[in-house]
Structure 1
Amino acid sequence: MQTIVCMKWGTRYPALYVNRLWSMIKRHTVRPTRLVCFTDDPTGVDPAVEVFPLPEIDIPDAIAWTPWRKLSLWQSPLANLSGDVLFLDLDIVITGDIDAMFDYKPGAFCACENWTQIGKGIGNTSVFRWNVGRNSHIFTDFEADGEGIWRKYGIEQVYISRVIDRMEFWPSDWCVSFKHTLVPYWPLNFFRTPKLPEGTRIVAFTGKPDPDEAAIGTWPVEQAWKKIYKYARPTPWIDEYWQ
């Protein structure tokens, strides 16, 4: 049985995102696979998804509801999980077979090479596989000095990348970023629709836009002037996969 994990907290991503993730997983796996969702609100989540409360973690208030909370997954024991487990953010779109992600470099921590820091040894944790019980120091060290680790590393994926015993990057064509890989450079982004490369298994939507927004060509920005360059044309193929 292959195990995939996601986390849902707060209100940004409703149960719909968990349910669509589960639907995509079923369409892109052949082997027996389960989805485990750690959440503070299971309302509306498909009954076929295994639901657990968010894992406990001693975390500074300022980052309590940010990706730093993912560090809670590195504790051991963790619910009923064991072995190599695949983590998927809710804001991803699965476009190809993901069974292979359980065969790649067994036992190693596998992550996307962060698209904005190529060559710097930083893994992006939108899509990663870890071995439950291995490298539990990532969790215990953070609990011992969460404030200090946060101040030192700034971003949880930098912290993990610097202290993990072994990190491997997924093949670059397996996991791509919508805005960093697929959206054409300015000003071509105003004229060309992002294309899905052959061989892509997962498209990550880090930050904004989310999949539903990108599908219709909406890119929310906090400062109006950023609309000068933050734009992507409506991308119909997203709806083909994100369902």
Structure 2
Amino acid sequence: MSAVKQIICIKWGTKFGPHYVNRLRGMISRNITPPFRLICFTDDGAGLHPDVVVRPLPRFDYEPPKNTLGKWPKSRLWGDLGDITGTVLFLDLDVIVTGNLDDFFTYADPGDTVLATNPQSVKPFEKLGQTSVYRMQVGKLAPLQDIFRADPQGVADEYRFEQRFVTRRAPGGVKFWPKGWVVHFRAHCVPPVPMRYWQTPRIPKGAKIVIFAGSLNPPDAIAGRWSEDDPVRSPAEHLRAAFDGSRRESLPRHLRHYIRPTPWVEELWRD
């Protein structure tokens, strides 16, 4: 494995601004033993920190799946990455780094494809990978691009999520990070109902990275809301909304969809 730890990320469109990349760089720099470099594959490098290595989005000509779950544009990174070669660790832009990252570069064999474990699979007994944090050898997943390019909508319909496709079809199979290294904010940090109404989300002991999936992102955790479309309410206000006709979803979902503001996310999520 290269002496320089290589971390890659991808930014396309307007959902995540440059501050997401810059804050990711800041968190990495405070939690890794140098040398390292962060490479951002993007369609717009404006505003990125000068230490971020900027590369254009790899070309991958296909008709994107429509009305399909999963972050299929990540498939651009499965093949040739130009001058970026060797082993790379991929991080989603909206993760929070809570511990040292060095072990992500020494765990298992450098050529292994290593994924986080998804705690929210709806299929019984399925060990589903999570591609918010995964390591790969550049080019090893290129055969998946060929399969996907041939029938993007068919692949998306069969697997629903790109991480299920990688989990099941990665050449040579996949391995998983040790339990507890990568945790899911909603599943592992937010207290269960009803404690979440008076207890602040916490960082589980030993966690190195907290991932955010779905519509709840770091700014929402900081504010104390389930998504950017939800108002910030006190516990009493949220409970009143459950019965005064202002809730937008079923009663059980409304009662579950509450978190208190999370100061440690604001403390860690900075340049």
Residue 37 of structure 2 is aligned to residue 34 of structure 1 = yes
- TM-align CA RMSD: 1.9
Note if contact 2:188-2:204 (Cα within 8 Å) is conserved in structure 1: no
Match of 1:181 among 183, 188, 193: 188
Structure 2 match to 1:52: 55
Residue 240 of structure 2 is aligned to residue 236 of structure 1 = no
Q: Secondary structure at the match of 2:267?
A: helix
Q: Secondary structure at the match of 1:72?
A: helix
Question: Could you tell me how far apart the structure 1 residues matched to 2:154 and 2:256 are?
Answer: 36
Structure 1 match to 2:71: 67
Which runs of 5 or more structure 2 residues have no equivalent in the other structure? 231-246
Q: Secondary structure at the match of 1:4?
A: strand
Match of 2:13 among 10, 28, 32: 10
Give the deviation of 1:59 after TM superposition.
3.2
Q: 1:51 to 1:88 in 2, by over 3 A?
A: same
Question: Could you tell me how far apart the structure 1 residues matched to 2:58 and 2:88 are?
Answer: 16
Question: Could you tell me how far apart the structure 1 residues matched to 2:107 and 2:62 are?
Answer: 32
TM-score by length of 2: 0.84
Match of 1:224 among 238, 241, 248: 248
AA partner of residue 109 (structure 1): T
Question: Could you tell me how far apart the structure 1 residues matched to 2:222 and 2:62 are?
Answer: 35
Which runs of 5 or more structure 1 residues have no equivalent in the other structure? none
Give the deviation of 1:203 after TM superposition.
0.3
Structure 1 residues 166-196: Cα deviation after superposition (integer angstroms, max 9, x where no partner): 2111112110000011111222211211111
Question: Could you tell me how far apart the structure 1 residues matched to 2:156 and 2:217 are?
Answer: 26
Structure 2 match to 1:157: 163
Question: Could you tell me how far apart the structure 2 residues matched to 1:41 and 1:97 are?
Answer: 29
Matched pairs, number: 242
Question: Could you tell me how far apart the structure 2 residues matched to 1:65 and 1:42 are?
Answer: 26
The answer to which structure has the higher strand fraction is 1
Q: Secondary structure at the match of 1:101?
A: helix
TM-score by length of 1: 0.93
AA partner of residue 157 (structure 2): R
Structure 2 match to 1:147: 153
Question: Could you tell me how far apart the structure 2 residues matched to 1:38 and 1:65 are?
Answer: 22
Structure 2 match to 1:92: 95
AA partner of residue 232 (structure 1): I
Q: Secondary structure at the match of 1:224?
A: coil
Structure 1 match to 2:237: none
Q: Secondary structure at the match of 1:61?
A: coil
AA partner of residue 174 (structure 2): M
Provide the identity percentage: 39
